[in-house]
Structure 1
Amino acid sequence: MARASGLGVSALRFYDRAGVLVPDQVDPVTGYRWYAPEQLGEARVLSRLRRAGMPLADVRLVLAGWTAADTDLVRGLLRAHLRRLEEGLSAARAEFSALVDLLDDREYPLMTTPRTAARLSVSGPGLAAALDAVRFAAGTDPELPVLAGVHLDAEGDTLHAVATDRYRMAVARTAAGGHGGGGRVQATVPLPLADAMRALLDGADEVRLVVDDGRVTLEAGDRQTGGRCLEQDFPDYRRLVRLPAGRRAEVDVAAFTEAVRTGPVRLHEDGGTGYELTVLEVTEDGRAVPVPEGADGQDLVAVNRAFLLDALAAAGGDRLVLEFGAPTAPLVLRRPDDEHTFSLLMPVRLTD
């Protein structure tokens, strides 16, 4: 069904749970979904609507009226969605044109990545732990190649590792010595090179990190790996982590992970892509718990469940502190013993 319709298996599961395209039969033992031949046409329509980014509520109505004798409703819904897309594109073009003009007029760049030569002495286990803590958050969007890497930022006796895909960000810190000149040195390491560096760190007590003329090299004893840095400027992550104080809840990582993994979820549709949300609240006794659909409250925070599980797995340690701001502020996962190693998850707006 997935191959014939153009809908992936995960999409078929999503639309089954959402009640949009329910299989003809479900195996009671394996859960395998079986679709009737006449459902293929409906699935192909759904696939096209999904690629066009039609909201789920409208998709339901289109499919409900697709085979009806009177197609006025369907045609009206299609025209209305096309009009929204055209209006949105026109508005977006105007805003992007204004932004390009601002960039052209700007005298100094907002973000710079100095290529100052530097040799850093870094703890092998410390750098390994930092890479492990941030790797999950790196981007894979080909339109944003600078995010497909781990950003290394050395200043004074500290080295930060940072990764983000826009929807989540992870920051870790480790000590670094031997930085000549005392200035700030930055390099964004492509993911394949970051993974090669991580493999080289196993068993290495101390390593040397060399940044020179747009190239980064990791030396561990008589072994080394290196390559070119990404040329684009990495976002100024320091501005993105200045968050107001909020409610805090300390959690047992293993127990909280199991609660998220097996707990209630909400289905979310975003631009034709469906995924599962975990909605969290802080109880009066200071516990962070997933809440079921229908739960009410002004302080509920919804995040992508898969992203939350990734962040919990990468955090390390037995306990974490969750920091909740407003429902529109990122959820912060922070180690109790190291406030400088943390991850941020962008919230998802809950709609009726």
Structure 2
Amino acid sequence: MHSIGEMGRDSGLGVSALRFYDRAGVLPPARVDPATGYRWYTPEQLDEARLLARLRQAGMPLADVRLVLAAWSGGDTGLVPRLLDGHLRRLERELADARGALSAVRARLGPKESTMTTTTARTTRLTVPADEFAAALDSVRFAVGTDPELPVLGGILFDVEEADLHLVATDRYRMAVARATTTGHGGGRIQLTVPAPLVDAMRALLTDDSPALLTVDGDAIEVETQGRRVAGRALGEEFPDYRRLTRLPEGRRIPLDVPALRQALAGQDGERCALLLTDTVTVADEVDEPGTGDRVGVDPAFLLDALAGGDDGMLLEYVGPKAPLVLLRPDTEDAFSLLMPCTLDA
């Protein structure tokens, strides 16, 4: 028989997904150890698990998945093609509806005059403490996007307003914001998105607490410190309005035991896990009694990134099950990150 770990590895579903499909009655194990609760599967169930993974990859609802698996395992394969064809027709209708809706959106979209004062036409120079600049870059770098379809998210927004330099990165599923103080800038607001390779080259210069000179000239940007400099050009597209995206209602703040949470997350091998939110934040176990706290799904790798460099004193702000989780640093609320929750229905 296969252990749940072996089934997760060989089927592509993962352990957390197999646990969910057991509780949902879709793929119950052949045997459950009465003493430990550990699940065991027969070799024949491996084929079912692989089929289940493909059906879910195709977006088939669980109700139809149950019927496909039941018909297939019972030898009644006549029902299976009809279910597959029906699902494909449903996807085609949904795609046609989505195309129509997006065409309507495009027709309504037009040039929208920005109310934001952005000045990059003249050369602007400002000074940033190198250690503060480096800490801010480190706080947001993990959230830079890598999707080639959205190149503007492949960099960090530099947003200068009065004496503040805000740094922002997002890949749609998470966002990180940090702030550094500046001197020497007396003009209007400056915004430009610096590509990740240039950001990394800048960060490599910031090795001590010496001041760093930041120069912006149109879409050109340069950082100089200790006689060394790195320069390049910003991305040409406009970064999303991060202030709108971070405008959330106040939630419940829960202290984090960062070392314990890191250790628990490191043991997760799937793309999602459940956090149990009570007076503390822990990784929920399947045997946790219902009603003992709020549960919210997260990508464990993404949460580990957000916890990097943090220590006890970090807070998680919980607004609601569908709202982003907010991770706050203990020393300042000017550096924080948002993490979109994910569904727990595998």
**TM-score of Structure 1 vs Structure 2, range by shorter chain:** 0.7 to 0.9
The equivalent residue for 1:11 is: 12
The equivalent residue for 1:288 is: 281
Aligned counterpart in structure 2 of residue 207 of structure 1, from 206, 209, 212:
212
Structure 1 window deviating more from structure 2 (50-59 vs 222-231): it is 50-59
Quick one: structure 1 residues 257 and 45, their matched pair in 2 at CA, closer, same or farther if it must change by over 3 Å?
closer
> Counterparts of 1:1-352 in structure 2 under 5 Å?
11=12, 13=14, 49=55, 52-55=58-61, 58-59=64-65, 61-63=67-69, 65-66=71-72, 69-104=75-110, 106-109=111-114, 114-116=119-121, 117-179=123-185, 181-203=186-208, 205-262=210-267, 275-283=271-279, 287-293=280-286, 295-296=290-291, 299-314=294-309, 316-351=310-345
Amino acid at match of 1:207: A
Q: Does the 8 Å CA contact 1:328/1:349 hold for their aligned counterparts?
A: no
Deviation of 1:69 after TM superposition, in Å, equals 4.4
Amino acid at match of 2:105: L
Q: Deviations over 1:110-158 (max 9, x none)?
A: 7786534321201111111111111111111111111111111111111
Q: Does the 8 Å CA contact 1:152/1:160 hold for their aligned counterparts?
A: yes
Amino acid at match of 1:318: D
Quick one: structure 1 residues 148 and 12, their matched pair in 2 at CA, closer, same or farther if it must change by over 3 Å?
same
The equivalent residue for 1:29 is: none
**Aligned residue-pair number:** 321
Report the TM-score when normalising by structure 2: 0.80
Q: Deviations over 1:269-312 (max 9, x none)?
A: xxxxx7222323123xxx22332236346843222222111111
Deviation of 1:66 after TM superposition, in Å, equals 4.2
Deviation of 1:319 after TM superposition, in Å, equals 2.0
Aligned partners of 1:319, 1:298: CA distance in 2, in Å?
Answer: 21
Amino acid at match of 1:187: L
The equivalent residue for 1:271 is: none
Deviation of 1:322 after TM superposition, in Å, equals 1.0
Deviation of 1:97 after TM superposition, in Å, equals 1.1
Q: Deviations over 1:30-81 (max 9, x none)?
A: xxxxx98x99987886675465333466456535544764323211221232
Amino acid at match of 1:158: D
Structure 1 window deviating more from structure 2 (145-154 vs 218-227): it is 218-227
Aligned partners of 1:216, 1:49: CA distance in 2, in Å?
Answer: 49
Aligned partners of 1:348, 1:123: CA distance in 2, in Å?
Answer: 38
State percent identity of aligned pairs: 53
Quick one: structure 1 residues 9 and 145, their matched pair in 2 at CA, closer, same or farther if it must change by over 3 Å?
farther
Q: Does the 8 Å CA contact 2:164/2:181 hold for their aligned counterparts?
A: yes
Aligned partners of 1:8, 1:215: CA distance in 2, in Å?
Answer: 48
Report the TM-score when normalising by structure 1: 0.78
Q: Does the 8 Å CA contact 2:272/2:344 hold for their aligned counterparts?
A: no
Q: Does the 8 Å CA contact 2:258/2:307 hold for their aligned counterparts?
A: yes
Quick one: structure 1 residues 276 and 44, their matched pair in 2 at CA, closer, same or farther if it must change by over 3 Å?
closer
Aligned partners of 2:77, 2:55: CA distance in 1, in Å?
Answer: 16
Deviation of 1:350 after TM superposition, in Å, equals 4.0
Instruction: Answer 1 or 2: which has greater strand percent.
Output: 1
Flag structure 2 segments of 5+ consecutive residues without an equivalent: 1-7, 29-41
Aligned partners of 2:10, 2:191: CA distance in 1, in Å?
Answer: 41
Aligned partners of 1:136, 1:184: CA distance in 2, in Å?
Answer: 25
Flag structure 1 segments of 5+ consecutive residues without an equivalent: 1-6, 23-34, 268-273
Amino acid at match of 1:124: A
Q: Does the 8 Å CA contact 2:128/2:212 hold for their aligned counterparts?
A: yes
Aligned partners of 1:48, 1:159: CA distance in 2, in Å?
Answer: 47
RMSD across aligned positions (CA)? 3.4
1:202 is paired with a residue whose SS is coil
The equivalent residue for 1:25 is: none
The equivalent residue for 2:32 is: none
Q: Deviations over 1:251-274 (max 9, x none)?
A: 232233224434xx6x9xxxxxx7
2:256 is paired with a residue whose SS is strand
Q: Does the 8 Å CA contact 1:134/1:162 hold for their aligned counterparts?
A: yes
